[in-house]
Amino acid sequence: MSHILGLTGGIATGKSTASKFFKQEGFPVVDADYGARMVVEPGEPGLAAVKAYFGDDIVFPNGVLDRKKLGGIIFENPSEREKLNELLRQPIRDWLNKEKEKYIAEGHELIIMDVPLLFESKLEDQYDDIMVIYVSETLQLDRLMARDNLNSVDAFKRMTSQMSIERKANMADFVIDNSGSVEETHQQLAAWLGIFGYQPLK
Ligand SMILES: CC(C)(COP(=O)(O)OP(=O)(O)OC[C@H]1O[C@@H](n2cnc3c(N)ncnc32)[C@H](O)[C@@H]1O)[C@@H](O)C(=O)NCCC(=O)NCCS
Ligand SMILES: Nc1ncnc2c1ncn2[C@@H]1O[C@H](COP(=O)(O)OP(=O)(O)OP(=O)(O)O)[C@@H](O)[C@H]1O
């Protein structure tokens, strides 16, 4: 039976950094942000639903979703955010399940599911264990501003559009502290693999 690890955290706390480590070690990683992109590709019902609600101007003339514009709307406005979540919840869930089942069928012993909104979407029961990638809110704000070139007001709006990282850490089975160097984070992740006796597969 496969061990399904839900990997989550707050915006810019380091989920991709942890995912990259697991991939480098040879484990399969399913990325919900990637899935969220796939379900709004031109021709997908998810994009049609977004267009029907947010209007034709939410896509470029070539039919591709204007992510910056949509982000600008939903990170400003909680009711529009909830509406987007409602429109995409099921397509993203279906996409995640399809990917998970594919890896289970291939017989992988450990499958990592990188799902930013795992707790907000109440997906806890989908995973055997939940790992939260944690940094303090101050460091989270600094890293988010630096990575996305945002001012503190906009970065703070993005952070507070999600459940706080402190609350997520309290709900986790395992917490990885990503406040130090990337190398220190890798060591914690390698130690976690060691607890279960998983060997790098690469
Ligand atoms: C609003 C969108 C178009 C912005 O796109 P953009 O390319 O700028 O950002 P990206 O997709 O890389 O997301 C970056 C991060 O934002 C956060 N985030 C994304 N959507 C949401 C949301 N609805 N609520 C809170 N935080 C969110 C996550 O931490 C995510 O890792 C996009 O994030 C989106 O389609 N979001 C809704 C789908 C969703 O729920 N995604 C999360 C999958 S669990
Ligand atoms: N240990 C670390 N030391 C220094 N910088 C780091 C560390 N971990 C991550 N970062 C940087 O912090 C930023 C956020 O990290 P990352 O992109 O992995 O977060 P994320 O949780 O995947 O973000 P998102 O929710 O937006 O998908 C990136 O610019 C990354 O390079």
Over the chain, what is the mean pLDDT?
96
Q: Is the dihedral of CA 63, 66, 70, 73 positive or negative?
A: negative
- What is the average per-residue pLDDT within 127-151? 98
Whether 201 shows a pLDDT value over 80: the answer reads no
CB distance 134 to 177 below 8 Å: yes
Q: State whether residue 6 is helix, strand or coil.
A: strand
For the Cβ of 33 lying below 6 angstroms from any atom of ligand 2, the answer is yes
- What is the average per-residue pLDDT within 63-79? 96
151-197, pLDDT tens digit by residue? 999 999 999 999 999 999 999 999 999 999 999 999 999 999 999 99
Structure confidence at residue 199 (pLDDT):
81
CB distance 189 to 22 below 8 Å: yes
For the Cβ of 5 lying below 6 angstroms from any atom of ligand 1, the answer is no
82-111, pLDDT tens digit by residue? 999 999 999 999 999 999 999 999 999 999
Structure confidence at residue 200 (pLDDT):
74
* Predicted-assembly ipTM surpassing the 0.90 threshold: yes
Beta bridge partners of 9: 133
> Residue 17 annotated as binding?
yes
- What is the average per-residue pLDDT within 33-52? 97
Domains of the chain: 3-194 (3.40.50.300)
For the Cβ of 7 lying below 6 angstroms from any atom of ligand 1, the answer is no
Structure confidence at residue 202 (pLDDT):
62
